[in-house]
Amino acid sequence: MSKLVDAHGGKGLTCCLLEGAELEAEKKKAEGLKKVEISPREEGDLIMMGTGGFSPLTSFMTKADWKGVCDDFLLADGTFWPIPVTLSADKADADAIADGEEIALVSKGGEIMATMKVTEKFEMTTEDKKYECEKVYMGEGTPTAEEFWKIAQDDHPGVQMVMEQKDVNLAGPVKVLSEGEYPEKYKGVYLKPAEARKIFDDRGWNRVAALQLRNPMHRSHEYLAKIACEVCDGVFIHSLVGNLKPGDIPAEVRVRCIDMLVKKYFIEENIVQGGYPLDMRYAGPREGLLHATFRQNYGISDMIIGRDHAGVGDFYGMFEAQTIFDKIPTPAEPGKALLCVPMKIDWTFYCHKCDGMASLRTCPHSKEDRVLLSGTMLRKGLSEGDELPDHFGREEVLDILREYYGSLTEKVEIKTHKAATGS
C-alpha cells in the first residue's frame, strides 16, 4: 500500500494517453479530422493531461473554469486550480468547427498529438486576455495595473504568451496520442507521475520534497535540497524540460549539471532526478501553486519554495510565492483541496564569516560577507565571461556551463533585477 500523498482532485491519476489497439485506432481516425495547430505551451499542457500530471484535468478549460481559476483559484466543480489551461484557435478555424465535433490537435512540427471533442467555444477579446494577465501574472512588484502594463508587454514572457494567443478558446475532453520528443530525448530523466510514484514507493518513501529547477543547480539550490533531505524521506529534483525564454540554459545541459552534483555531493539513495514537459509561464506566485498542484500528482508532499520562485524581472515580491499559499481557498469536498504543502525557506547564500551556507534566518552578518546566489547572475556572469565569486557554484558544474557558453555563436543579453542582485 502506497504511503504517498493522493493525486490531486480525489479521482486518482486521470490519464488521457491512449495505448495499444485503442491508440492505433484513434491515430487512424485522427488523420481524417479537421486539424488545429497548437502552441508549444499547449502541447506541454496536453502531454501533462495525457500522463496524469494535470490530474484531475482531462480537457482544456471551459469559460466557467477559466473565470473561476482567474478569480477564485477554483474550477467550475470547486476543485482548486491556480492557472488557466486553455487552447486557442483562429476565429476562422473555430467557426468551421461544429459543437460536439472531434478535431485533431497538431504540433508545430506537424505531429498529431491528440484528438479533442469540442464542447464549447468562447471568444477571448484583448480585454479578456488583459484580465487574465492581471489576475494571474500581476504581483506585488507592480501593485497597480497601470504600473504593470507599463512594462509587462515588453518584459514579461508569460504576459506576452497570453496576449499572443488566438481569438477563440476551444474547450473539451482530449485523447492524447503522443508524448512528443520527451521519452526519447530525455530517456531516464523524463518521468510520468506513475513512474515517479513507483520509484518513491519502491524506496518506501512517505514524505517527499520537490525542488523545481529551470536553472543549473548552484550552491543555493544544493543547500535547499539538503535541507529537505534532512526532514523528508527523499528529494525529487524535478527539472523543466519544455521551452524557456531566450538566454535560459537548455535542459540537456542542466541535466548534466545535476548528474554531476548528485554523484559528488549527495547520498544518491536520497535523491531522484526527473524532468517534466511544460513551458515556463513565469507566473511567480501562481506558478508556485501550479508547481505544488501537479507535483502532488507525482507523489510529492512538500514543495520547496524559496526566494522569487518562478519569477521574472521585478514583477513579484521576494517571497510572494510563499505567502500566496496562506491565501488560497480550501474546498470542503475531500480531494479537491491542495494537499502538497510549501516548504518555505528564506534567502540562502554562502557567508564567508559563517564559513558555509546560511540563510537570513541563521546568519547575523552583513551583505558584504555574503555571496548572493541566483540563476540570473550565474547565467549573466558565464555569458559575459566574467569570473564568478568563490563559492557561487561547484567547479565541476561550472566547467560544464563554461563549455556550453563557449560553444555559443550568439549570446542573449541577460537582464538583472532586484531579486537576482540582492538590492
Instruction: Give the catalytic positions in this structure.
Output: 214-215
CA atoms within 13 A on the CB side of 408: 18
The torsion angle over the Cα atoms of residues 368, 371, 377 and 381, rounded to 10 degrees, is 100
Question: Pairing relation of β-strands 168-176 and 112-117?
Answer: antiparallel
Name the pairing type of β-strands 234-240 and 208-213: parallel
Cell match 524559496: residue? Answer: 306
Q: Residue 415: which residues within 8 A CB-CB, separation 6 or more?
A: 155, 313, 376
Give the separation between CA 253 and CA 378, rounded to whole angstroms.
Answer: 14
Residues 6+ apart with CB under 8 A from 254: 213, 214, 215, 216, 217, 239
Instruction: Give the C-alpha separation, 198 to 219, whole Å.
Output: 29
Bond into 56 cis (ω within 30): yes
189 with 253: CB under 8 angstroms? no
Q: How many whole angstroms from its chain centre is CA 165?
A: 19
Q: How many CA atoms lie within 13 A of 208 on its CB side?
A: 32
Q: Which helix (H) or strand (E) holds 122?
A: strand 120-123
| φ, ψ for residue 370, nearest 5 deg | -110, 145
3-state helix, strand, coil in the chain (%, to 5): 40, 20, 45
From the centroid of its chain, how far is CA 342?
Answer: 15
Alpha-carbon gap, residue 80 to 69, rounded angstroms: 8
Smallest Cα–Cα separation from 211: which of 332, 352, 306? 306
